[in-house]
Amino acid sequence: MDKVLIVDSDRKQLAAIRNEFKDLRQFEPLTAINGKGALETLQQVRVSVVVANMMLPDMDSVDLVAHLTRISASTPCIIMTESDKSPPVFPAHSRKDAMLSYIEKPIALRAMGAMIFAGLNIRDEGMSLRGIVLAHLLPLVALCRKTCQMDIVSERRKQGVLYFQDGDLLDARSDGQAGDDVALEMSNWGRIVLTLSPLPEKAIRPRIKTDLIDIAGARWKRGAPATGSPEKKASPVSPYAVGAGPSPAAPPPVSEGSRLEVALRRYATSFQAIKGYRGVAILGSDGSILATDTGPEPIAFSNFAAEFDSIVSYCSKIASQKGFSRCTSVTLHTENGIVIMMRPDLYRQGNFRFIGVLAPDANGYFMQVQLEKTIPQILAAM
């Protein structure tokens, strides 16, 4: 069974996370209350995913990740950011195989479980071989307000040095070059091996003009964290930065089906990132199809959606008769695919039905978790 290491000095939260995942019986949760305990576990046990608090009693998560790149470079890592620290948000294409990802406190345990399964999928699909990409680490340096010299060796044996003061990037040097262009080039380095040391006493000339979050190709979820140089301007601005491009137009006051189409399209990326995703459909109480999103190959939901939805109704009737209360979801595993049917009236937000379809070798549980998380958001956005 896969082992997942959870590192947090908050013993109460650590116990809650451990108990939640024990009941899943999908992987074995291991725990540590500080960085030293985490490193000892990593050296003794083969760990599949690491989940760590941003700040630990004896080290910050930048230190922990640096150790991870040297002793377990192919292990995905999830960082729990504090509620008063805005986490970074990366474009969808950059998140699909991210070995370093972020989740914000207070922790939604189902969301964390989905991220852990995503990490396990990355490993199972062989995408973990590239290790951590530097761009995904850079926002963590800002969040921790790290001051250090960071020596980096990449997957192609390229070498470079970054200098940070209070979370601000002062300079980047590699192959005799320095400055913004070097930092941007280094941000794409994968399978990095990090060595941290104190910032040299000799003053480092601040050469970097581009904001760190733009070098990373991301944006802050809620404004930039306080760092040592708030006056630094973002130039060039990342196309993914806050305010870049036109704001999405609000859906017009049209039919219920049209509003659902807009809402589903807004949150469809949560499903599209799942390996083997084929499509999602939203049905009305009469079995009519109100909205759909499909993968590369179109799915004719009209050929089976109403009949499959009736399975949920039948199961709910039998379950209630036998004292199990009503049925809220049913999952069918067939030779040609996995079909997950859910009744979101569980959330008291309308009498709709959702049907998700996956390839037969996909992670059905991951899809179920994403549906449970996203259905209320879709209905609330109508």
CATH number at residue 10: 3.40.50.2300
Q: What is the pLDDT of residue 160?
A: 97
CA distance 339 to 315: 15
Q: What is the pLDDT of residue 233?
A: 44
Ranges under pLDDT 70 in the chain: 226-258, 285-286, 344-351, 382
Q: Evaluate whether 194 touches 182 at the Cβ level (below 8 Å).
A: no
**In terms of domains, do 206 and 90 share one?**
yes
Residue 163 falls inside a structural domain: yes
When divided into structural domains, the chain yields a total of 2
Domain boundary among the residues 215, 245, 275 is at: 245
**In terms of domains, do 237 and 299 share one?**
no
Residue 29 falls inside a structural domain: yes
**In terms of domains, do 241 and 260 share one?**
no
**In terms of domains, do 214 and 354 share one?**
no
**In terms of domains, do 367 and 295 share one?**
yes
Residue 296 falls inside a structural domain: yes
CATH number at residue 287: 3.30.450.30
**In terms of domains, do 168 and 108 share one?**
yes
Q: What is the pTM of this model?
A: 0.64
Q: What is the pLDDT of residue 227?
A: 62
CA distance 11 to 137: 26
Q: Tokens in use for 178?
A: 């320095």
Domain boundary among the residues 209, 226, 245 is at: 245
Q: Evaluate whether 286 touches 259 at the Cβ level (below 8 Å).
A: no
Q: What is the pLDDT of residue 254?
A: 39
Domain of 288, in residue numbers: 256-380
Q: Is the dihedral of CA 371, 373, 374, 378 positive or negative?
A: positive
Residue 75 falls inside a structural domain: yes
Q: What is the pLDDT of residue 235?
A: 42
Residue 127 falls inside a structural domain: yes
Domain boundary among the residues 205, 221, 245 is at: 245
**In terms of domains, do 153 and 268 share one?**
no
Q: What is the pLDDT of residue 286?
A: 67
For residue 270, CA distances in Å to 110, 367, 374 come to: 14, 9, 8
Q: Tokens in use for 287?
A: 């079995």
Tell me whether residue 325 is exposed, middle or buried, using C-beta atoms within 10 angstroms of its C-beta: 0 to 12, 13 to 18, 19 or more.
exposed
Question: Mind giving me the DSSP string for 37-84?
Answer: HHHHHHHHS--SEEEEESB-SS-BHHHHHHHHHHH-TT--EEEEE-TT
**In terms of domains, do 127 and 260 share one?**
no
Residue 251 falls inside a structural domain: no
Let me know how long the chain is.
382
**In terms of domains, do 84 and 223 share one?**
yes
**In terms of domains, do 148 and 56 share one?**
yes
For the CA atoms of 109, 110, 116, 118, what is the dihedral angle to 10 degrees?
-150
**In terms of domains, do 241 and 266 share one?**
no
Q: Evaluate whether 268 touches 280 at the Cβ level (below 8 Å).
A: yes
Residue 310 falls inside a structural domain: yes
Residue 250 falls inside a structural domain: no
**In terms of domains, do 62 and 121 share one?**
yes
Q: 299-317: buried (b, 16+ CB within 10 Å) or exposed (e) per residue?
A: bebeeebbebbeebbebbe
Q: Nearest-CA neighbor of 196 among 84, 64, 40, 352?
A: 64
